[in-house]
Structure 1
Amino acid sequence: MMLFKIRLAIDHLRTCFKNSLEPFQNICIDESLMLFKGRLAFKQFIPSKRHRFGVKLFILCDCETSYILDFIIYTGSSTEITQFPEVGISGSIVLTLLEKYFNNGHSLYVDNWYTSPSLFSILHEKKTNACGTVKINRKHMPPLKEKLERGQHVCYAARNILTTKWLDKREVRMLSTIHTDEMIVCGKTLQGEDKRKPLCILNYNENMGAIDKTDMLLSTESVRKTIRWYKKVFFHLLDLSILNVHVIYKMKTGENIPLLQFQIKLIKEIVEKYQKFRPRASSSKNIGQDAPMRLVARHFPSHVEKNEKKK
């Protein structure tokens, strides 16, 4: 109910996002925060995000291209998701976002708010692999009480799920239905020897940065300000659309154009295609012959010399 003012735009964009690109094998789910400091019942505070305050979105993203496949806007208890009591709210969000992509062999990467043995078992039944950091107090998790030295790891396996505990500067716990207990040389040294990491941690670090990358791009390009939260969300969804179009453009043309240049190019083409001139009654100039680019070009002040009439 809270999103009724922009419901048509949200439903239309979600459908377009899903149908415009088939994702590669690796996909990820994470939170994104749209900056908003006004009064709003479902405003969130996330200290790890760049803006910290704002409207939270759960985003499904393709790891290879950073294309946004789907999103859910968080509105508190009224968030529109399909409820799955056996996996809780976080698991229900994952299953809702992945509904279109089950049984295709995708590999999902998530952080510890979503990860649980129950969720990963359901995903494996639907032919979807998963990997993510995990909290020690999750239901059905092994105790993992072994004392380790830096660089050591210990693994437990049950059916199709692997649990890994690895000690670096701090303990890292992983849950995966993709990996084995393989250790990989990561190019660094520890006490004069090549440093080795579990393969699941290396792949997790490689694939979980897609949504943070989109947040970084939006934080530098979006400058709209409004006190109406629904307008802010609407403009943010337009920015997400431009990001997706930018990804598809690069895939189709092979041209690695920066996002800012792409936005300017897109604006020019829209102005040229949809411009409508309205001649002024008081003006004798032919407005219809003006170049539409004058509306987006940069203008600079210049000194004008006085003429004979001193005007």
Structure 2
Amino acid sequence: MDEIDLRAYIGLLIFAGVYRPARHAIDKLAAIREVWEKWVERLPYRYNPGPEVTVDEQLVLFRGRCPFCQYMPSKPAKYGIKIWVACDAQSSYAWKMQVYTGKPTNGGAEKNQGIGVVTDGLRGYTELPSALLTTRGREAFSSKFVFTPTTTLVYYLPKRNKCVFLLRTLHKMAEISDREDMKPDIILDYNHLKAGVDNLDKVTGSCRRMTVHWPLVIFHNIIDVSSFNVFVIWNKTNPTWMPDKQNKKRVFLEQLEKALKQIPHVPSKLHTLTSRTATQKKYQAREHTENKRHREEIELH
């Protein structure tokens, strides 16, 4: 590191120290907000999901200090950063993602988080009718439906004071099964297709590394999800590529890694760093030899 790089690095540290407290008081995700927003904005550009889209929670393993770290005993990781994901039910392509940063600054409990993820990604659903949200006086296994020209929303009570919302574009009628729990057909279809996010958890995680910094955890997850999304797009555009192989994703990631290393500016940068390191070692060895010779001369006298 030369003098110019050192001065620039010190200046960036001072700049971050001045503005970091103000940003973090307003936004808990400030440390990586700009990168996250630009990445999430590009997720829907390259892929159109099928008729079934799954919205569920993803828990990224992290046990360090984080202002919005969550404990979810139903997840394998137990502790980590919770991310709401909307993905294609068949391919598990991550189409929309939102980091849960905890309770709002006013200290009140945050409710209907899943509704916010769904309604943020669909036009025309900015709020739900208040009459639909109430559970008082309703019997268990009862259902309420709301219809629009393109969507159907069901509000089902599996038991008292517990509600389940589902929004679908496939169903157009209030169809209820003849089962004992009287579940609507919308919920039965959802249970059949809800593994989209769970499958995304299984196929990602290879890029994660041990760290005590939560922004790096989110960044590693960005790389993981991006790699899998590219793999999905590649399979859709090249259906005849390795059709009978079970390790297609591993082979694809190996080829992706080699292609990224062949970017023109990477070898030159690595060569510069290697040359600089070799020069530093050369000077250090010369200095060590001169110091040793100087000590020997002192001992002789």
Aligned residue number for residue 261 of structure 1: 251
Q: 1:74 aligns with which of 82, 100, 103?
A: 100
Distance 1:242 1:77 in 2: 31
Listed as ranges, the gaps of 5+ residues in structure 1 are 80-84, 104-115, 142-158, 180-199, 284-311
Q: Which residue of 2 aligns with 1:28?
A: 54
User: Residue 7 of structure 1 is aligned with which of 6, 27, 33?
Assistant: 33
Size of the alignment, in residue pairs? 218
Q: TM-score, normalised by structure 2?
A: 0.62
Q: How far off its partner does 1:121 sit?
A: 7.5
Deviation at 1:12, TM superposition (A): 1.4
Following TM superposition, by how much is the alpha carbon of 1:204 offset from its aligned partner in structure 2, in angstroms?
2.5
**Structure 2 partner of 1:210:** 196
Q: CA deviation at 1:209?
A: 0.6
Q: Does 1:250 align with 2:235?
A: yes
> Aligned in 2, Cα 1:132/1:173: closer, same or farther, shift over 3 Å?
farther
Q: Distance in 2 between matches of 1:36 and 1:262?
A: 27
CA deviations 1:90-112 (Å, max 9, x no partner) are: 4223211x325x69xxxxxxxxx
1:135, distance to aligned residue in structure 2 (A): 3.5
Q: 1:78 to 1:261 in 2, by over 3 A?
A: farther
- Deviations along 1:9-64, one digit per CA (max 9) or x if unpaired, are 11111111111111111111000100001122211111121111100011001112
Once the 2 structures are TM-superposed, how far is the Cα of residue 161 of structure 1 from its aligned partner?
3.6
* Larger Rg, first or second structure (1 or 2): 2
Q: Look up the SS of the partner of 2:179 in the other structure.
A: strand
Shift of 1:267: 0.8
Q: Structure 1 residues 47, 247: CA separation in 2 closer, same or farther (over 3 Å shift)?
A: same
Q: Secondary structure of the equivalent of 1:237? A: helix
Contact 1:117–1:140 (Cα < 8 Å) also in 2: no
Inter-partner Cα distance in structure 2 for 1:131 and 1:4: 36
**Using the alignment, how far apart are the partners of 2:69 and 2:149 within structure 1?**
34
Distance (Å, rounded) in 1 between the aligned partners of 2:224 and 2:158 = 34
Summarize the alignment of residues 99-114 of structure 1 with structure 2, pairs less than 5 Å apart. 99=122
Q: Aligned to 2:54, what secondary structure does the other structure show?
A: strand
Distance in 2 of aligned mates of 1:282 and 1:208: 52
Q: Secondary structure at the match of 2:86?
A: strand
1:226 aligns with 2:211: yes
Provide the secondary structure at the position in 2 that maps to 1:166.
Answer: coil
Greater strand share, structure number: 1
Residue of structure 2 equivalent to 1:92: 116
Cα gap change, 1:223 to 1:139, in 2 (>3 Å): closer
Matches within 5 A, 1:129-278: 129=152, 134-137=157-160, 160-164=173-177, 166-167=179-180, 172=181, 174=183, 176=184, 179=185, 200=186, 203-219=189-205, 221-254=206-239, 255=241, 258-274=248-264, 275-277=266-268, 278=271
- Structure 2 counterpart of 1:269, one-letter code: A
After superposition, what is the alpha-carbon deviation per residue over 1:69-99, rounded to whole angstroms, capped at 9, x for unaligned?
10110001249xxxxx9x9444223211x32
Percent pairwise identity = 22
CA distance in 2, matches of 1:56, 1:282: 41
Structure 2 portions without partners, runs of 5+: 1-26, 126-130, 135-142, 165-171, 279-301
Aligned-partner Cα distance in 2 for 1:71–1:31: 10
Contact 1:33 1:51 in 2 (8 A): yes
